[in-house]
């Protein structure tokens, strides 16, 4: 990576990254992918988030489903760890709590493959700096 030399450079990179993310989130491109974020703060990992993440990566790979599985920080739902956020291209993200291997498999089989929601969704209950 070349160093960012000035503010204009930074803004350029920002818009590049943003359009990349947008592409991923809104699914405007043909290679739209299912995206899964696994909440991987210390508390999530202690509750088994690492196992869940590994399982998701292996199982999706095993089944030949193209998906991006990434880690993220604490979502704040400590009572429901491990938590994941699933985004199906073109749809609003959905957060699931208590995702162990069984739940992860159910999510893959039902939500990802059949587009059926699975019990255990955590509803979004906050506003962000964008919409405030």
Q: Can you give the binding site for other proteins, defined by CB under 8 A?
A: 1, 3-7, 9-11, 13-14, 17-18, 20-21, 37, 39-43, 45, 70-80, 83, 85, 97, 114-123, 125-129, 132
Compare residues 44 and 55 and give the one whose CB is closer to other proteins: 44
Minimum CB separation of residue 28 from other proteins in Å reads 16
Do 56 and 118 meet the contact criterion of CB atoms below 8 Å apart?
A: no
Token digits of residue 71:
């880690």
- Beta-sheet pairing, 84-87 with 67-72: unpaired
**What secondary structure letter does DSSP report for 76?**
S
Q: Could you tell me the two tokens for 93?
A: 């993200």
CB 80 to other proteins: min, Å: 6
Structure tokens belonging to residue 51 = 């196992």
CA–CA dist 57, 67 (Å, integer): 8
Instruction: Tell me how far, at minimum, the Cβ of 63 lies from other proteins, in Å.
Output: 15
* Cβ proximity to other proteins, 10 vs 65, nearer residue: 10
Q: Is the peptide bond before 82 cis (omega within 30 degrees of 0)?
A: yes
| Closer CB to other proteins, 47 or 60, in the complex | 47
Least distance (Å) between residue 94 CB and other proteins: 9
Residue 39 or 52 with smaller CB distance to other proteins: 39
């Amino acid at each position: 990576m070349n160093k960012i030399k000035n503010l204009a450079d930074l803004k350029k990179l920002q818009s590049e990254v943003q359009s990349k993310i947008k592409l991923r989130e809104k699914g405007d491109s043909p290679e739209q992918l299912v995206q899964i974020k696994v909440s991987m703060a210390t508390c999530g990992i202690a509750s088994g988030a690492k196992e869940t993440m590994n399982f998701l990566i292996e199982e999706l790979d095993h089944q030949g489903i193209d998906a991006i599985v990434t880690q993220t920080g604490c979502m704040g739902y400590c009572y429901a760890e491990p938590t994941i956020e699933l985004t199906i291209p073109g749809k609003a993200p959905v957060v699931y709590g208590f995702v162990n291997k069984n739940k992860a498999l159910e999510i893959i089989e039902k939500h990802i493959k059949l587009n059926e929601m699975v019990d255990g969704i955590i509803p979004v209950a906050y506003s962000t700096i964008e919409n405030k």
